[in-house]
Amino acid sequence: MEHRWHRAFTEHPRSVGESYAEHFLAASRFGLRLLKAGLACLMHAILPGCFETTASRAVAGLADDMEARRRRAQAPVYAVTAAIADSSSSSASLHRRSRS
């Protein structure tokens, strides 16, 4: 039984390339953004002239952020390593040029 509970806390975060703590923080930020958008919707229902695009912009931003996180989680490790190496060599090259 204990093993099942442990998996409930670790399996999904691991599947998206995060620790439990990283996933907790990211999911909490998304949740707070959704609550804020929901409150804007409720205020818009009462006062139609207020918060006319707040919720739709929030949802579009959340969708973009989630898609970016999904792409990062699915990126092969060698692609990430290559991108880091490439940016490091570019930085070193710029640093050498600025010193000459």
pLDDT tens profile 5-62:
777 788 888 888 888 999 999 999 999 999 999 999 999 999 999 999 999 999 999 9
Domain ranges of the chain: 2-99
Closest-CA residue to 18 (of 3, 28, 5, 32): 28
- What pTM does this model have? 0.62
Written as one letter, the residue type at 31 is G
Planar angle of CA 29, 31, 33, nearest 5 degrees? 70
Please, which pLDDT band fits residue 92 given cuts at 50, 70 and 90? low
pLDDT at 72: 81
